[in-house]
A and B are shown apart, each in its own frame.
Chain A
Amino acid sequence: MRIPAWIVSPAFILLALLAWELVVRALNVPAYLLPPPSSIFASMERSLLVHLAVTLGEALAGFLLASVLAFLAALAFVRSPTLERGLFPLAVTLKTTPLVAIAPLLVLWMGTGWSSKIAAAALICFFPVLVNAVKGLKAADAEYYELFRAMKASRRQEFRKLRIPFCLPYLYSALKISSSLAIVGAIVGEFVGATQGLGYLIMISSSHLETDALFSAIFAAALAGIAVFQLLGWIEQRVVFWQSVEAE
């Protein structure tokens, strides 16, 4: 009998959890170091959902903000090489500076509310979208541009009918990457100063040695990341059906 494909991955996860449970119980590992999955699931409360929703909301807002800004920046860069030469190094600097180093500044400037988390998520998402959008907007063969010029297409038509559709698969790969990064950004923002969210939950429960609550927050973050990634992949096959590209 063949095993259906969709069942393989959940089955392995269940097996891993089972092994974890058995090993922790057999070796009598203290719960503050590594609680068994059963007590992690038991510790999950309704408030976990609220924290998860807060973090996801911040991540989504940051992700959308960054995607729009990065795509607009990419359009400007492709239109003006001077702008690209001038501003691209700045974007690289932003990318290479660790978010954990910038996050305290964001909280200092914007407070412990949601805006600093949105900014953190946006910062971490901006660069992958920018790089891939610029690459995508230039992705068509040189001969496509000759073809469009021979058809006497305007610059606007060239963007709308050639460059932007060519860019979509690149943009989409970048969005898949940034969607998981956005959750990381929001959590890092919450580490620095927050009153709710998964990052806040992780900080609080680790300082109280509530390791099972800590794990429940980690599980929630991981599940959310996987779910968003899968969702985007599912949409991708329907929107940019003609090709998929590997993002940088």
Chain B
Amino acid sequence: MSAVLAHVAALAPPCIEVERLGVRFGALSVIEDLSITIRQHEFVSLLGPSGCGKSTLLRIIAGLIPAASGTVRLGGQPNAAALRLSIMFQKPLLLPWRTALENVLLPLEIEREGGKTSSLDVARAERIVARVRLQGFEGAYPHQLSGGMQQRVALARALISDPEVLLLDEPFGALDEMTRDALNQELLRIWRSENARLKTVVMVTHSIQEAVSMSDRIVVLAARPARLRQAVDVSLPHPRDCDSAEFSRIQGRVRQLVRSEA
């Protein structure tokens, strides 16, 4: 089953193509000669020592930072507008004067000319709020919600524009382990659900276990300047058993790769 999935993924058209990417902040070379192809329906984790340029790579894919050299193609096009794309950060970045539901509606308000959202939009926001299991908290303000709930609102906000690509910068990194595991499971559930348009997820993480339990492929980056160290395929079926021998074997291999870099 997993072998079949991996096979399908290898045949899927490329979604994000990074080719010979170079990024400099002044004299400092942050990313050098980095090439990665991420295919549709792939869940890819970016792993590497802190400060290695993972977040920078994510921002370049999102079109927030320009590349100094090389190209980034999304859906075969050279600009970020070709695909619907959402980004989510470690901080929830909610607007404190808006309720949870109003925060979720923000991307639609920005998208709609004139800023007016329809009752259809509201109904959709309510559905997505329910999907991240926040029913009953639609009218709550961010300061009334726990950190985990705030991050659920942020996830709902990232999902409401029905993105094809979801970019996650350590999305649950600031949360306690139990909350993080629960949110990771829900993220997987949403990614795997049939009716979502969401195809591709790129997640920056510090946690090897998180990377192995979530992704199809783990891209380990070398530090300063970031280069591709190695990509590790994870062809375990979901839901993954963290205690299985295969899981431990992959986890050990990734840990070795990361250690040799740190």
A interface residues (Cβ-Cβ under 8 A, vs B):
141, 143-144, 146-153, 157, 161-162, 165, 168, 240-243
Q: How far is B78's CA from A89's CA once the two chains are assembled, in angstroms?
A: 45
Decide: B110 and A242 in contact? CB cutoff 8 A: no
Q: How far is B125's CA from A9's CA once the two chains are assembled, in angstroms?
A: 48
- B115's partner among A147, A157, A243 (CB-CB below 8 A) is A157
B25 within 8 A of A: no
Decide: B96 and A161 in contact? CB cutoff 8 A: no
Decide: B91 and A143 in contact? CB cutoff 8 A: yes
CB neighbours (8 Å) of B93 from chain A are: 141, 143-144, 147
Decide: B96 and A243 in contact? CB cutoff 8 A: yes
Decide: B95 and A146 in contact? CB cutoff 8 A: no
Query: Knowing A165-B95, A242-B96, A242-B143 touch, does A143 contact B89 (C-beta < 8 A)?
Result: yes
Residues 87-135 of B contacting A (Cβ, < 8 Å):
87, 89, 91, 93, 95-97, 106-107, 109-111, 115
Nearest B residue (CB) for A242: B96
Q: How far is B91's CA from A143's CA once the two chains are assembled, in angstroms?
A: 9
Number of A-B contacts (CB under 8 A): 49
B64 within 8 A of A: yes
Q: Can you name 14 A-B residue pairings with CB atoms under 8 Å?
A: A143-B89, A143-B93, A146-B59, A148-B110, A150-B64, A150-B85, A150-B86, A150-B87, A151-B110, A152-B110, A157-B110, A161-B95, A165-B97, A242-B141
Q: How far is B171's CA from A143's CA once the two chains are assembled, in angstroms?
A: 13
Q: How far is B111's CA from A157's CA once the two chains are assembled, in angstroms?
A: 10
Q: How far is B103's CA from A165's CA once the two chains are assembled, in angstroms?
A: 13
Decide: B141 and A161 in contact? CB cutoff 8 A: no
* Chain B interface residue count, Cβ-Cβ cutoff 8 angstroms: 23
Query: Knowing A157-B110, A161-B106 touch, does A147 contact B87 (C-beta < 8 A)?
Result: yes
Decide: A242 and B97 in contact? CB cutoff 8 A: yes
Q: How far is B64's CA from A243's CA once the two chains are assembled, in angstroms?
A: 29
Q: How far is B107's CA from A153's CA once the two chains are assembled, in angstroms?
A: 9
B62 within 8 A of A: yes
Q: How far is B97's CA from A146's CA once the two chains are assembled, in angstroms?
A: 19
Q: How far is B86's CA from A149's CA once the two chains are assembled, in angstroms?
A: 11
Q: How far is B110's CA from A149's CA once the two chains are assembled, in angstroms?
A: 10
> 15 new A-B pairs (CB below 8 Å) besides A146-B64, A243-B96?
A147-B87, A147-B89, A149-B64, A151-B106, A151-B107, A151-B110, A151-B111, A152-B110, A152-B111, A157-B115, A161-B95, A161-B110, A165-B95, A241-B97, A242-B96
CB neighbours (8 Å) of B161 from chain A are: 151
- Closest chain B CB from A200 CB (angstroms): 43
Listed from nearest, the 9 A-B pairs whose CB atoms lie closest are: A242-B96, A150-B87, A153-B110, A151-B110, A151-B107, A146-B64, A165-B97, A242-B97, A147-B93
